[in-house]
């Protein structure tokens, strides 16, 4: 009955010590107030069925929420289990990357060939409700937990889209989501290769991209367009190792912690560079996290050209800290900086060459009349023209 209470007390005493000086006494007193409230609720609250676990989880969530950091959050045992499942490359859900921007739950990008993509969800859609419940104040992990579910079941998302005059609902049937890192890998004209990298989430992303590059080189590739538009990011080590395919052992990204201490991160693969030819990275507002790390590494090491539109601006380091009851804390412990020290969090990366989608294409896309092909993709074609110059 007392295990959670004594666990918290022991943690406080180990953390803050037994010193009786004024500063430590004040700090410890604040912490001990949590135990006091815990005891008051347990003995005086009108309902006597409140579990200790419920109170402790609520206290943890409250502390993390007070930091006003959407990426620092508490993972209940089910949420932590889902996170680990996601990293294996397969899970049940609808197939979207989501994030929090200006306090709103935003679709960073739908994954192609998934229920969300087929249902017509678009990048920058705001999810205003999940199954008729408002998403105001929701955490990312809570949102993920509510959107995911068993295969064949449905979820109803309330959507606010800038181009629509009013909100609308989209009902989506969940299915197995198989994460495909490479959407397309082809040779274009003039010995230019094109690879569309969809995600950094899969444990096989690095191997898949490396194999795709080697195959295109065998087919005569001399220049490469690497497309990370609508790539919502993924695993840090994938970003490091993938950058190494183009820059070798040079600095990929820097991290800066609360003390201002900086750490330079490199690819973990020895002799990793396999392509040294002309390179263009295509980005847009849905390129986030690991995609931005890669783009920053390419730009700051003068290894290639970043082309497209401003990226999303998600550049913080989260550490997963497991707790004893199979729950966990996802805690922001540092910030990412590009190799030259640029802080891109909430700002994003400004491309070397800005290429916006033509208004006539945007209109066709909004009307559902646009039939996509690489030949019609304005930004891809501008990349090809840039190589000609």
Give long-range contacts, CB 8 A cutoff, 24+ apart: 256-263: 256/334, 256/335, 256/337, 257/333, 257/334, 258/333, 258/334, 262/337, 263/334
Active-site annotation holds for 300: yes
Phi then psi for residue 281, to 5 deg, are: -105, 120
Tell me the C-alpha distance between 101 and 378, whole Å.
28
Given the residues 267, 314, 327, 377, select the one marked as catalytic.
Answer: 314
In sequence order, what DSSP letters do the residues of 351-387 get, joined into one string? PSEE-PPPHHHHHHHHTT-----TTT-HHHHHHHHHH
**φ, ψ (nearest 5 deg) of residue 300:** -70, -20
- Cβ atoms < 10 Å from Cβ of 121: 22
Task: Please write down the HEC assignment for all residues of 30-54.
Answer: HHHHHHHHHHHHHHHCCCCCCCHHH
Phi/psi at 125 (nearest 5 deg)?
Answer: -60, 140
Dist CA 229 CA 287 (whole Å): 5
Q: Are 225 and 189 in contact (CB under 8 A)?
A: no
Could you give the CA distance from residue 274 to residue 214 in angstroms, rounded to a whole number?
8
Q: Is 289 a catalytic residue?
A: yes
Q: Is 314 a catalytic residue?
A: yes
| Strand 305-308 relative to strand 168-173, pairing | unpaired
- Backbone angles phi and psi of 195, in degrees to 5: -130, 130
Task: Given the residues 125, 227, 241, 300, select the one marked as catalytic.
Answer: 300
Number of C-beta neighbours around residue 93 at 10 A: 22
Q: What is the phi/psi pair of residue 355, to 5°?
A: -130, 110
Q: How many residues does the chain have?
A: 389
Catalytic residue selected from 289, 291, 327, 377? 289
Task: Please identify which residue in the block is written with the tokens 């089910």.
Answer: 78
Annotated catalytic sites, by residue?
Answer: 289, 300, 314
């Amino acid at each position: 009955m007392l295990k959670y209470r004594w666990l918290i007390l022991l943690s406080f005493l180990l953390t803050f010590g037994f010193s009786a000086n004024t500063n430590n006494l004040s700090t410890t007193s604040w912490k001990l107030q949590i135990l006091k409230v815990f005891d008051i609720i347990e003995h005086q609250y009108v309902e006597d069925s409140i579990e200790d676990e419920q109170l402790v989880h609520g206290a943890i969530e409250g502390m993390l929420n007070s930091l006003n950091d959407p990426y620092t959050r508490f993972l209940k045992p089910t949420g932590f289990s889902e996170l680990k499942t996601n990293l294996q490359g397969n899970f049940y859900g609808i197939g979207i990357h989501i994030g929090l921007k200006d306090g709103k739950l935003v679709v960073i990008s739908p994954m192609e060939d998934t229920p969300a993509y087929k249902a017509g969800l678009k990048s920058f859609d705001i999810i205003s409700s999940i199954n008729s419940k408002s998403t105001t104040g929701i955490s990312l992990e809570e949102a993920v937990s509510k959107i995911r579910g068993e295969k064949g079941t449905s979820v109803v998302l309330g959507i606010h889209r800038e181009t629509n005059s009013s909100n609308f609902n989209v009902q989506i049937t969940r299915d197995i989501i198989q994460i495909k890192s490479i959407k397309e890998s082809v040779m274009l004209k003039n010995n230019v290769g094109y690879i569309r990298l969809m995600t950094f989430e899969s444990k096989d992303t690095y191997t898949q991209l490396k194999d795709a590059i080697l195959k295109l080189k065998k087919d005569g590739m001399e220049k490469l367009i690497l497309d990370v538009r609508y790539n919502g990011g993924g695993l840090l080590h994938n970003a490091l190792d993938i950058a190494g395919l183009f820059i070798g052992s040079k600095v990929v990204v820097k991290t800066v912690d609360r003390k201002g201490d900086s750490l330079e991160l490199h690819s973990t693969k020895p002799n990793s560079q396999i392509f040294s030819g002309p390179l263009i990275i295509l980005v847009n507002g849905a390129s986030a996290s690991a995609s931005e790390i890669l783009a920053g590494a390419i730009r700051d090491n003068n290894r290639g050209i970043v082309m497209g539109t401003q990226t999303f601006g998600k550049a913080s380091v989260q550490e997963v800290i497991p707790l004893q009851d199979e729950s966990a804390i996802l805690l922001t412990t540092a910030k990412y900086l590009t190799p030259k020290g640029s802080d891109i969090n909430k700002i994003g990366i400004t491309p070397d060459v800005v290429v916006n989608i033509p208004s006539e294409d945007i209109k066709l896309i909004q009307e559902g009349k646009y039939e996509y092909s690489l030949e019609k993709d304005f930004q891809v074609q501008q990349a090809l023209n840039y190589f000609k110059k």
